[in-house]
A = this chain, B = another copy of it.
Amino acid sequence: VKIAVLGTGSVGRTMAARFATIGHDVTVGTRDVQATLTRSEPDAMGNPPFSTWAAGHSQVPLLSFAEAAANAELVVNATNGGVSIEVLTQAGADNLAGKVLLDIANPLDFSQGFPPTLFVKDTDSLGEQIQRAYPDVKVVKALNTMNTAVMVDPTLVPAPHDVFIAGNDADAKRRVAGLLGEWFGWTPGSIIDVGDITAARGTEMMLPVWLRLWQALGTNQINFHIARAGV
């Protein structure tokens, strides 16, 4: 499956690196390829310039959002939630139509500092905003409730833990569930389908407690597990 990862931050880099490692045809999408490659300062989150990462991952082309989306069968939204809709506009509705969009972003608002608040919640979600803006796209919300390193390597957390998927298209969710296993090693029993895309309200609202748990436990190598009979 040809994959486009939209976003050049640490989340996008980690996902793209994993796809390349396992031999998938992956590209990374960005707003302005030249600007991204010529930037020589760390980004706003303190990550090294993208060119540093790109030098170590020469098999991963950097394309415009539109080119990356056009060439892909499956698109990963690894952008900051605050720019996701605009990035998808640049990717282009025609380039996205009919495709599965794996949305791993969160609607975090850092404008008041840390901890961030959520710019949409409770009666709506980023996942729903994206689905409404691109009705021809099969949006599947998943992986947004954990650290990126854990997303791509669930064995980092030794005890059983879970990934939640939400979306309106049952086939797309089944496909993503299979890919989460193939790509990252998520077992079927660790994947919980929480319903249609409105369930993204619930999973996006887990971020605030996740941030508190990170502080309280002193590690981000943690994840939610839904304990229940037999699991």
Please give the number of chain A residues whose Cβ is less than 8 angstroms from any Cβ of chain B in the complex.
42
Pair A213/B194 contact, Cβ less than 8 Å: yes
Complex Cα spacing A193 to B212, Å: 9
**For the complex, would chain A's binding face be called helix, strand, loop or mixed by DSSP majority?**
mixed
A229 touches B225 (CB 8 A): no
- Among B118, B121, B209, the residue within 8 A (CB) of A206 is B209
Given contacts A118-B122, A159-B228, A206-B206, contact A194 B223 (CB under 8 A): no
- Measured CB to CB, the closest approach of chain B to A117, in angstroms, equals 5
CB-nearest residue of chain B relative to A202?
A: B209
B203 & A205 in contact (Cβ 8 Å cutoff): no
Chain B residues, CB < 8 A from A206: 205-206, 209
A208-B205 contact, Cβ under 8 Å, with A192-B216, A225-B226, A227-B224: yes
**Chain B positions within 8 Å of A227 at CB level:** 157-161, 222-225
When distances are taken between beta carbons in the complex, the residues of chain B under 8 Å from A221 are: 228-229
In this assembly, does A92 line the interface, its C-beta being within 8 Å of a C-beta of chain B?
A: no
Q: Does A99 touch B at the CB level, under 8 Å?
A: no
Given contacts A224-B224, A227-B224, contact A208 B217 (CB under 8 A): no
Beta-carbon nearest neighbor of A109 in chain B: B122
Q: Is A123 an interface residue (CB 8 A)?
A: yes
Which of B193, B202, B216, B223 is A208 in contact with, Cβ under 8 Å? B202
- B residues within 8 A CB of A212? 194-195, 199, 202
Q: Measured between C-beta atoms, what is the minimum distance from A67 to chain B in Å?
A: 36
